[in-house]
């Protein structure tokens, strides 16, 4: 009998193997073996209607995906959090009944989590990636979660494609390589097969994917939502966060070096800024669109791969958020915080954006497995300040001790409590929208325009930004092993801009398109550019980090004046030298070294200053680390400053095409020069003019007019 059972089991294994080798296995099926007719578009009520819950393939696909990582988040695994508060500028009663948007004197508590998307929890902060920007408002009406990114668009138009996107961009299945990177075959194969992501790829390969700091990074709600006022009038909206320090980025070479020197770069920056009282601030804005204007654009306002250009729909800035407290326990707060776009309050509602419709389901489903069951909202970081009363009971990790007999409604035993609230009593009432249509897997025609806004983005970039995008393509596509995929990507972006496609092909070893193509769009939207945007802040050095390179014999007057001026502007200065300890000036004063060459590097600073002092500069010119520090900062287009004999170190570093202060001839001396972000002064005494010029150079952030990497040995 036992022998027969074993034989039967072997037969079963053999039968299964036969099924696996069946040619018909080429068909995509559900987990029950039912063949799937469409895995790209979710089932909706009409082309622009809401997603239907009866779409069993959509639910199965998303549910399985949501539960694929335990306990780490599937995406956004590496994050940093902070507490703060939000205040509205003026009552928004005309647009929304949301109470936290009415009283300018009221501070609504918030918790914000910033994150990278692709990498595991142990990956580096500075990888090329989208950044999450999720805000939990603890309002008097309950928790409201605004779950967004630092880019206003997304890769896909329908949430049913989200598992495919993430599977493609994650490390490849056979070897789990590469970590926290899109530069590999499976992702770019996905890109070439899905032209809808062309616009998002332009953003991801721009400098936006390399933020200097979470404090200098925009945030967007991405999806289309609604404001609904107390009269029931609805308007479509898009959410925006604007950092008051401006929008600034790292450069690619920097990010790779920082990943080795300090993989916690952005996390540390946020933590230290708050600890020092340099509280990050963000303005909160909304683009508001009247419902009667829904169809007046050449794009579909429900398409998450499209922006609403600010020239067409201006942003109304309605409030400000300040982050002023770090968490007490990373795991209990930052790691266990649970966001969900479905967490809304009266006055805020959803649209039929097909990406948003799927997110409403997916986020909640994910938290159920990641945080161990249905009571994750009782974890302190997730607990609302508003009172909670419902008939939900038991389950894993239940902490609430419910009293009384009843756990149902209606009831007579418990005086019919808790009972639903009417709209007048603050109950949530869904926006009344007429929905009709055939059950169909389809998209509206405007969703099928994949390249117009990608070209709009390209048109809007400055020349340095365009150069960086091309270089990013060269790196990303250059890492793809399959030349057919490389060629497919080139051909795809020939639909965006023919010259761009030619430049991509030139760097990745495949032929350029036989016929130069491109979208006919000529329009620009300058505010999507960090360099061209009039909204970007480039007039402050607040919280910037400046390295002062020095050795024994430094000019104490130089250091004290420059250091005082920089710190008066809100910058942070570090004395950097060969060794830690004390340095003695040429006049006998002493100063403590903050960092040594071993413990830091120029990539961790926004600018570099070299003071005068004959012995100081004589020593520095003999230190390869000091010259490398200067060269690397110059290569990354940062502000450089030197006074007195310190100018000689810049000359020793052979900085190309820069004019320095000093003697031009026997009878002519130029006391102060500011040339492409390199500020030098030679005369002793008052440094106020130098400080003013150096501060202006630092505030500009980068000086792209000297971007000559091939001429700088760093």
For the annotated catalytic residues, the residue numbers are: 76, 149
Q: Is 594 exposed, middle or buried (0-12, 13-18, 19+ CB in 10 A)?
A: middle
- Alpha helix (H) residue ranges in 102-243: 162-169, 185-193, 198-204
Token digits of residue 410: 């209606």
* Residue 146: both structure tokens together: 């605004």
For residue 555, what are the contacts with CB-CB under 8 A and spacing of at least 6? 585, 586, 611, 612, 613, 616, 643, 644, 645, 646
| C-alpha to C-alpha distance for 59 and 4, rounded to whole angstroms | 41
Please give the backbone phi and psi of residue 144, each rounded to the nearest 5 degrees, phi first: -120, 125
Torsions phi, psi for 649 (to 5 deg): -65, -40
> How far is CA 212 from each of CA 182, 327, 600, rounded to the nearest angstrom?
20, 22, 17
Cβ neighbours of residue 674 closer than 8 Å, sequence gap 6 or more: 693, 696, 697
Contacts of 457 (CB under 8 A, 6+ apart): 199, 202, 203, 206, 525, 528
CA 370-172-124 angle, to 5 degrees, is 65
d(CA 618, CA 623): 9
For strand 672-675 and strand 281-290, is the pairing parallel, antiparallel, or unpaired?
unpaired
Token pair 């869904």 is found at: 430
DSSP state of 446: G
Q: Is the N-terminal amide bond of 71 cis, ω within 30° of 0?
A: yes
Measure Cα distances from 156 to 32, 162, 187, 193, 487 in Å. Answer: 26, 7, 13, 12, 22
3-state secondary structure of 274: helix
Cα distance between residue 608 and residue 679, in whole Å: 10
Contact call for residues 218 and 243 (beta carbons, < 8 A): yes
Structure tokens at 182: 């899109």
- Residues 6 or more apart from 175 whose CB is under 8 A from it? none
Is the alpha carbon torsion for 664, 670, 675, 681 positive or negative? positive
Q: What distance in Å separates the CA atoms of residue 431 and residue 229, rounded to the nearest whole number?
A: 10
Strands 44-45 and 662-665, by their bridges, are unpaired
Cα first-last separation, the chain: 76
* Distance between CA atoms of residues 194 and 487, nearest Å: 15
Both tokens of 630, joined, read 């200067």
Query: Is the CB of residue 420 less than 8 Å from the CB of residue 340?
Result: no
Contact of 158 with 361, CB cutoff 8 Å: no
Neighbours of 511 (CB within 10 A): 10
Q: Which of 294, 447, 370, 343 is nearest to 135 (CA)?
A: 343
Q: Cβ distance 236 to 243 under 8 Å? A: no
From residue 262, alpha-carbon distances to 214, 578, 600, 630 in Å are 15, 19, 9, 19
Orientation of helix 463-478 relative to helix 483-493, angle to 10°: 150
The answer to whether the beta carbons of residues 133 and 150 sit under 8 Å apart is yes
């Amino acid at each position: 009998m036992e022998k027969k059972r074993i034989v039967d089991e072997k037969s079963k294994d053999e039968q299964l193997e036969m099924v696996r080798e069946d040619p018909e296995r080429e068909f995509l099926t559900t987990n029950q073996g039912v063949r799937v007719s469409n895995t790209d578009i979710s089932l909706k009520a009409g082309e622009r209607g809401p997603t239907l819950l009866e779409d069993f393939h959509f639910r199965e696909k998303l549910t399985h995906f949501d539960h694929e990582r335990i306990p780490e988040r599937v995406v956004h695994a590496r994050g940093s959090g902070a507490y703060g508060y939000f205040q509205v500028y003026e009552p928004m009663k005309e647009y929304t009944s949301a109470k936290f948007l009415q009283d300018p004197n009221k501070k609504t508590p918030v918790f914000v989590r910033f994150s990278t998307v692709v990498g595991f929890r142990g990956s580096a902060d500075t990888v090329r990636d989208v950044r999450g920007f999720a805000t939990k408002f603890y309002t008097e009406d309950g928790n409201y979660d605004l779950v967004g990114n630092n880019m206003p668009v997304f890769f896909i138009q329908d949430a049913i494609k989200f598992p495919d996107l993430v599977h493609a961009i994650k490390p490849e299945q056979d070897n789990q390589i590469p970590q926290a990177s899109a530069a590999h075959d499976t992702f770019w194969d996905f890109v070439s097969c899905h032209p809808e992501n062309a616009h998002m790829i332009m953003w991801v390969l721009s400098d936006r994917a390399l933020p200097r700091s979470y404090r200098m990074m925009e945030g967007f709600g991405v999806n289309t939502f609604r404001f609904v006022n107390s009269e029931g009038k609805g308007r479509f909206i898009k959410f925006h966060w604007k950092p008051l320090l401006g929008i600034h980025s790292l450069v690619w070479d920097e990010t790779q070096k920082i990943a080795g020197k300090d993989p916690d770069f952005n996390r540390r920056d946020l933590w230290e800024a708050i600890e020092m009282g340099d509280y990050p601030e963000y303005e909160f804005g909304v683009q508001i669109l009247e419902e009667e204007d829904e169809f007046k654009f050449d794009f579909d306002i429900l398409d998450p791969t499209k922006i609403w250009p600010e020239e067409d729909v201006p942003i109304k800035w309605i409030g400000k958020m300040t982050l002023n407290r770090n968490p007490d326990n990373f795991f209990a707060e930052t790691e266990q915080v649970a966001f969900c776009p479905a967490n809304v309050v009266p006055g805020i509602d959803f649209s039929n954006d097909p990406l948003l419709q799927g997110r409403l389901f997916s986020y909640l489903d994910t938290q159920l497995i990641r945080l161990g069951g249905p009571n994750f909202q009782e974890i302190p970081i997730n607990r609302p300040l508003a009172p909670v009363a419902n008939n939900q009971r038991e389950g894993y990790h239940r902490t609430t001790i419910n009293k009384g007999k009843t756990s149902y409604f209606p009831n007579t035993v418990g005086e019919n409590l808790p009972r639903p609230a009417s709209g007048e009593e603050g109950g949530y009432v869904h926006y009344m929208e007429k929905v009709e249509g055939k059950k169909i897997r389809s998209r509206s025609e405007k969703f099928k325009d994949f390249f117009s806004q990608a070209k709009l983005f390209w048109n809007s970039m400055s020349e340095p930004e365009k150069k960086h995008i091309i270089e990013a393509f060269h790196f990303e596509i250059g890492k793809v092993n399959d030349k057919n995929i490389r060629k497919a990507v080139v051909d795809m972006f020939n639909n965006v801009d023919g010259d761009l496609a030619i430049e991509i092909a030139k760097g990745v070893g495949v032929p350029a398109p036989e016929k130069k193509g491109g979208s006919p769009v000529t329009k620009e939207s300058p505010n999507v550019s960090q360099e061209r945007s009039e909204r970007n802040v480039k007039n402050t050095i607040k919280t910037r980090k400046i390295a002062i390179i020095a050795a024994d014999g430094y000019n104490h007057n130089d250091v004290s004046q420059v250091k005082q001026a920089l710190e008066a502007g809100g910058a942070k200065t570090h004395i950097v030298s060969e060794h830690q300890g004390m340095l003695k000036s040429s006049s006998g004063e002493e100063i403590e070294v903050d960092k040594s060459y071993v413990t830091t590097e120029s990539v961790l600073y926004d600018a570099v200053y070299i003071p005068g002092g004959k012995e100081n500069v004589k020593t520095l010119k003999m230190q390869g680390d000091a010259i490398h520090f200067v060269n690397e900062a110059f290569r990354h287009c940062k502000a450089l400053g030197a006074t007195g004999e310190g100018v000689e170190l810049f000359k020793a570093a052979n900085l190309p095409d820069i004019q320095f202060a000093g003697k031009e001839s026997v009878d002519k001396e130029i006391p102060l020069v500011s040339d492409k972000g390199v500020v030098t002064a030679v005369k002793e005494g008052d440094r106020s003019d130098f400080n003013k010029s150096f501060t202006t150079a630092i505030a500009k952030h980068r000086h792209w007019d000297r971007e000559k990497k091939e001429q700088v040995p760093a």
